Amino acid sequence: MSTPGALDGLVIADFGRVLAGPYATMLLADLGAEVVKIERPESGDDTRSWGPPWVGDESTYFLGVNRNKSSRAIDLRTDEGLAAARELVARADVVVENFLPGTMERLGLGYEQVAKDSPGIVYCSITGFGGGNALPGYDLLIQAVGGLMSVTGPDEHTPTKVGVAMVDIVTGMHAALGILAALRHRDRTGTGQRVEVNLLSSLLSALSNQTAGYVGAGVVPKPMGNRHPSIAPYQLFDTADRPLVLAVGNDKQFASLCRALEIPELSSDERFATNSARVAHRDELVRILDERLAADTADSWFDALTAAGVPCGPLNDIADAIALAERLGLDPTVEIADPHGEEVSRHVANPIRLSETPPTYRSSPPGLGEH
């Protein structure tokens, strides 16, 4: 018998689509919540068709964020469908939706409407630009207008998106956190509340030191490729065979790096003795390190520098990264058998580790309307 999850008994009516909402509800489902995914008949969630890659006739995009859920195909344009949706919402503890602002209200399923009969409901709305702005929000769009692309890429003439829908993922994590906070409040008071997150605000928060630099000091950051605006050396370097990252975060680590590279005098050079000095003389430092690192391979430097306590690592692709996590005993993937026991699917594991109520993997992503 499996260990009960931390959120066992919690019912979530999931009207979320694409990525931010489904990622949030999958995290909660892994922790034991019962998530009922409401989808359009025939087509379902948009991501069901977002392939390749495919596993059978399902896109890996959809499969990656919808495990541990059941699926109900409900046409919200019909009276019958709305009645079914209202019945589900009435027994739910949490509602998650990411329609355009005003859509759920027009359907009679808005927060104020639901809370009249269910005052303990935790109702999470995910939007692109906030509930007062009926603008569609997609990750790429928010990366552009939210400033992420302006600090990503080799230079300011080549704005570049991040290689994954990171804004959606960050927003999904914020949504899950907000839901848990609201549930904690309900545990104490019996009263639910509305939780609102949006893609733009989530990105501005996640930009962290970059937005803090502007808000606090008026500095508008520019892209620096693989360099860091406030730390050096903290970037990608070429070696004799493939790139290697050095992530030297303090003066002690820099001294260890210099000894391991057999250039110990560099750490006492006034141009490089402190982090702020290294940032000011970054180009000179990079030239010296480039020349030294070119003398050996990335793996050789990784062994030598790691032994010296210097944070570093070779540039991995995703296959390499999964293999690394496996070598480190992190169990990065899990296998889930389908309800009929006919197939086993492989998934990326939930990264949260709980000693008493760990994540569980009860079912593969559902077929459209399967339940």
**Which of the following is catalytic: 14, 30, 139, 168?**
168
CB atoms under 10 Å from CB of 211, counted, come to 17
Which residues make Cβ contacts (< 8 Å) with residue 109, sequence separation at least 6? 15, 82, 85, 86, 89, 95, 97
CB contact burial 101-110 (16+ within 10 A = b; e otherwise): beebeebebb
Peptide bond into 311 cis (omega under 30): no
Yes or no: say if 88 and 122 are a contact pair by the CB < 8 Å rule. no
The CA-based angle 148-154-217, given to 5 degrees, is 50
Yes or no: say if 150 and 222 are a contact pair by the CB < 8 Å rule. yes
C-alpha to C-alpha distance for 329 and 249, rounded to whole angstroms = 26
Strands (E), the chain: 11-15, 34-39, 54-55, 58-59, 69-73, 94-97, 122-127, 193-198, 234-237, 244-247, 312-314, 333-337, 344-348
C-alpha to C-alpha distance for 14 and 79, rounded to whole angstroms = 19
C-alpha to C-alpha distance for 176 and 190, rounded to whole angstroms = 19
> Within 13 Å of residue 194, how many CA atoms lie on the same side as its CB?
14
For residue 155, indicate whether it is catalytic.
no
Residues acting as catalytic residues: 168
